[in-house]
Amino acid sequence: MTKLLMRALAGETLPTPPIWMMRQAGRYLPEYRATREKAGDFLSLCYTPELAAEVTLQPIRRFGFDAAILFADILLVPQALGADLWFVKGEGPRLSTIDGQADFDKLGPVDEIHETLGPIYETVSILSRELPEDVPLIGFAGAPWTVATYMIAGRGTPDQGPAHALKAENRELFAALIDRITEATIEYLSRQVAAGAECVKIFDSWAGSLQGHDFDEFCIGPIARIIAELKERHPGIPVIAFPREAGDRYIGFHKATGADCVALDNSVSAEWAAKYVQVDGCVQGNMDPRHMVTGGQALVDEAQAITRALRGGPHIFNLGHGITPDADPDNVAKMIEAVRSA
């Protein structure tokens, strides 16, 4: 198999890890900004298959990454369930909020999400035709907890306060919301795989704000359910799970969820992850995205240190979180060169 990413996901230890980058299609690239301009706004870009496929391909052409990630957003699932969604320039996403039962009751049924999400499956099928032979496509969705935090608050929050409040006030309603998102996510990812995604990633960006039993119930539980159902429907489909800032809860995360690969944020060291997480399977990560802004020898040293620390087992090189709009594209090329020559 020539696809390095698929080999790492299958548990192979490789001399050079496959490389891709969270938010690799994004505002740090002039060609992305040009296509985005053409699309008008961010959501139009997500829902126009030819343009979404184009921005997915741009970083592959420019840098020769070992994987492509579908251009879309985790907030399309709430929108498909009936939430209002819009983006405020310079600020970020806004959604209608969920304060109680009445708001929950307004959400639509899971089997209607495809009416909204159809263009996304079309983007996947364009990409599965147009990507180079050796570059697999990663489909993705947000994990139920992270998606719920946006649906409840109606926006990104520093501490996910509104979601924690609803969980404390009405745990039954909160659990019903998590279930609805879980079921929608299974259908959404399953369609992405049917359309040609060769791997899927589940982003639990706010996993780190769940503790103890809540982490088991609302991070591990829904992710394990999604993975089990996907593997039942699509035997062998590899899954990457990203419980960002999970800290010591990264330990055992492969086994607890059935994920083939666990993605690490940059708050844990690569040495620690090699010892406690990579023993259970493939890991992905985990360079601080700030190096893509600051560059220099520190970038090279850090990229090589991570590569060497995780060389004893299956590893996919990535950042610990998304690349930021102020990053310099030359630093991306420098990172790839550093990893491949480590």
CA distance 205 to 201: 12
Active-site annotation holder among 28, 121, 150, 188: 150
The separation between CA 162 and the C-alpha centre of its own chain, rounded to angstroms, equals: 23
Active-site annotation holder among 32, 47, 66, 73: 73
CA distance 301 to 334: 11
Q: How far is CA 218 from CA 45, 84, 162, 204, 308, in A?
A: 31, 24, 15, 10, 34
The verdict on whether residue 265 carries a ligand-binding annotation is no
CA distance 323 to 332: 9
Taking the complex as a whole, how short is the minimal distance between the CB of residue 311 and ligand 1CP, in angstroms?
A: 25
41 is catalytic: no
62 is catalytic: no
The verdict on whether residue 285 carries a ligand-binding annotation is no
Taking the complex as a whole, how short is the minimal distance between the CB of residue 69 and ligand 1CP, in angstroms?
A: 4
Q: Which two tokens stand for residue 65?
A: 């990454």
Binding site for ligand 1CP (CB under 6 A): 22-27, 36, 42, 69, 71, 73-75, 92-93, 140, 142, 156, 203, 205, 322
Minimum CB distance to ligand 1CP smaller for 163 or for 309: 163
The verdict on whether residue 58 carries a ligand-binding annotation is no
The verdict on whether residue 114 carries a ligand-binding annotation is no
Taking the complex as a whole, how short is the minimal distance between the CB of residue 13 and ligand 1CP, in angstroms?
A: 26
308 is catalytic: no
Q: Are 8 and 319 in contact (CB under 8 A)?
A: no
CA distance 101 to 138: 35
The verdict on whether residue 134 carries a ligand-binding annotation is no
Minimum CB distance to ligand 1CP smaller for 240 or for 309: 240
Taking the complex as a whole, how short is the minimal distance between the CB of residue 68 and ligand 1CP, in angstroms?
A: 9
CA distance 144 to 211: 16
Active-site annotation holder among 23, 180, 225, 249: 23
CA distance 93 to 145: 17
User: What residue number has its CB nearest to ligand 1CP?
Assistant: 156
Minimum CB distance to ligand 1CP smaller for 26 or for 221: 26
Q: Which two tokens stand for residue 3?
A: 């696809």
- List the catalytic residues: 23, 27, 36, 73, 150
Binding residues for substrate: 23-27, 73, 150, 205, 321
